[in-house]
Amino acid sequence: MNAVVLNGKHVAAELQQQLKHDVEKLKLQNITPGLAVLLIGDDPASHTYVRAKEKAAAEVGIYSVVFRMPETVTQQQVIDRIQQLNQDDSIHGILVQLPLPKHIDVRTVIDAIDPEKDVDGFHPVNIGNMQLGKDAFLPCTPFGVLHLLKQYNIDLQGKNTVIVGHSHIVGRPLATLLLNENATVSVCHAYTKNLKEMTRMADILIVAVGKKHLITADMVKPGAVVIDVGINREKNRIYGDCDFDEIQSVASYITPVPGGVGPMTISMLLYNTVAAARRQADRLVTV
């Protein structure tokens, strides 16, 4: 029996259709959600991601602007641009495309963003509120994974969930979101001993490492839900962290790469931007 494929492309398209209606309603109130993206340097993958974000934003009616900066830009110049955007009422969301050049400190740059415009969900205020289960902009990839699971009615409560990868972008915030859903969460990483032993225990296995086919069929519990966040480029092809073809015959649900988590990440960015526009508009009304 082959696993059900979790079609992130389809779920993302449905969400974006709803967002399009939401944007139309905001425009009736003379509010056009605005997204600013800072793209620094010449990383080809970053340029591809930003083009996809621009296209998706246009499709739902979000105004977007990309500030392309050279690799040689100073950290202070980046912060100055962010501070200008913090004061710009036409911009409701600010995204700094990662990775950044080595001479720029990621934390310092993210901290400069107004938390109300932090649609990537990485500012300490949003991270802290997420930890407390309070209202916050959630990091887009973990938020996308959660939304995808819910759209397929996959029950999380009490489920033994194993995350492979403990990055600040995916693994750690995803662990928090799953704990908030009452899942039982284990997080594995490069120093985990007996990885196979851990992954075989998972009712829900989520992998976000960036290593082609790290997870093979013998590492998956029969009937498990497998979420592959990995993106690995090799000879003009994209592979996940999981061996999809092998695991499909073992798992109950599985995400493809591409077409699984990737489209969800962009959709959640748009969702956060629309939410930020609505929230900032409400705040202006009440002042």
Query: Domain extents for the chain?
Result: 29-114, 140-263
Determine which one of 16, 22, 53, 117 is catalytic: 53
The answer on pLDDT for 155 being more than 60 is: yes
- Does the domain at residues 29-114 carry the CATH identifier 3.40.449.10? no
pLDDT of 287: 40
pLDDT of 91: 97
Give the pLDDT mean for 53-71: 97
- Residue 90 annotated as binding? no
Catalytic residue check, 17: no
Catalytic residue check, 75: no
pLDDT of 282: 80
Fold for the domain defined by 140-263: Rossmann fold (3.40.50)
Determine which one of 114, 120, 203, 228 is catalytic: 120
- Provide CB contacts within 8 A for 19, sequence distance 6+: 60, 267, 270, 271, 274
Do 29-114 and 140-263 fold alike per CATH? yes
Determine which one of 97, 114, 212, 228 is catalytic: 97
Catalytic residue check, 203: no
pLDDT of 235: 86
pLDDT of 40: 97
pLDDT of 1: 65
The answer on pLDDT for 53 being more than 80 is: yes
pTM of whole model > 0.75? yes
Backbone angles phi, psi at 225, to 5 degrees: -95, 125
Average pLDDT, the chain: 96
What is the enclosing helix (H) or strand (E) of 239?
Answer: strand 237-239
As a dihedral over the C-alpha atoms of residue 63, residue 68, residue 73, residue 76, rounded to 10 degrees, the angle is 0
Q: Report how far residue 253's alpha carbon sits from residue 202's, in angstroms, rounded to the nearest whole number.
A: 13
- Residue 167 annotated as binding? yes
% pLDDT > 90, the chain: 94
